[in-house]
Amino acid sequence: MIELQNVCRTFIVGDQKVEALRDINLSFGAGEYISIMGPSGSGKSTMLNMLGLLDRPNLGTYLLDSGNVTDLNDEQLARVRREKIGFVFQSFHLVPRLTAAQNVELPMILAGIPVEERRARVQVLMQNYGLSDRADHRPDQLSGGQRQRVAIARATVMNPTVLLADEPTGNLDQATGWEVLKLLEGLLAQGITLVLVTHDAEIGARAHRQIHMLDGRILSDERQTP
């Protein structure tokens, strides 16, 4: 499903060369639950940006759904992001001026999906995530958990292949955090590949496959059978 082959990514910070990813080889299957852990600066964020096609490798190849997405142009990349990748962020990243429903609708607006279909899909998702009575609220009128649920609804509304979550519980209290986590884990049944970036070992331990990173390298890649 997802395959990184010899991926390298270096940044120039000032006059220093920072190697964020060094010769990464990875492959994820459909429906896999992966957590990526490591201290800050270990390259896990770069890894996530790379997987989300927000960043490009300096070297190496990225295959997504058996297509090579390494050398796509901006328009093609945008299309792949739109159709195959969902993002969930620590700080939710909801558009403050739009209602919850409009935020969920946003990826479909960018994709040019007709209004009727958009409405229908938003309604189903809002209902599934228990947000029906919050559809017309703006983000600042929602609790943290509700905001993250709206964000998850937005990330899944295009039925992506892979969902990338960057510390999705980082800004939530523990109870709400577990709730959100369960919601994300529920998506696995639909065949979504869930990639969770966290530095919380307890949360990371829930994943079926745990990857530890350090200095741009994969330190360990362990699978556990639940």
Angle between helix axes 174-186 and 144-156 (nearest 10 degrees) is 20
Q: Which is nearer to another protein, 51 or 206 (CB)?
A: 51
Q: Which is nearer to another protein, 93 or 217 (CB)?
A: 93
Tell me which of 112, 133, 202, 226 binds another protein, using CB under 8 A: 112
Tell me which of 58, 67, 95, 224 binds another protein, using CB under 8 A: 95
Contact 78, 50 (CB under 8 A): no
Q: Which is nearer to another protein, 160 or 206 (CB)?
A: 160
Angle, CA 76 vertex, CA 193 and CA 109 arms, to 5°: 75
Contact 84, 62 (CB under 8 A): no
Tell me which of 87, 149, 150, 213 binds another protein, using CB under 8 A: 87
Tell me which of 15, 17, 75, 133 binds another protein, using CB under 8 A: 75
Say which amino acid occupies 67.
G
* 106 near another protein (CB under 8 A): yes
Structure tokens belonging to residue 107: 């990826």
- The torsion angles phi and psi of 219, rounded to 5 degrees, stand at -80, -45
- The torsion angles phi and psi of 170, rounded to 5 degrees, stand at -60, -35
Three-state secondary-structure class, residue 59 = strand
Q: What is the CA radius of gyration of the chain?
A: 17
* 89 near another protein (CB under 8 A): yes
* 110 near another protein (CB under 8 A): yes
Q: Which is nearer to another protein, 28 or 92 (CB)?
A: 92
Site for another protein in 5-64 (CB under 8 A): 49, 52, 54-55
Contact 25, 5 (CB under 8 A): yes
Tell me which of 24, 64, 101, 158 binds another protein, using CB under 8 A: 158
Alpha helices in 3-57 (DSSP H): 44-51
Least spacing, CB of residue 53 vs another protein, in Å: 9
* 199 near another protein (CB under 8 A): no
Instruction: Note the residues at the interface with another protein (CB under 8 A).
Output: 49, 52, 54-55, 74-75, 78-79, 81-83, 85, 87, 89, 93, 95-98, 102, 106-107, 109-112, 115, 154, 158
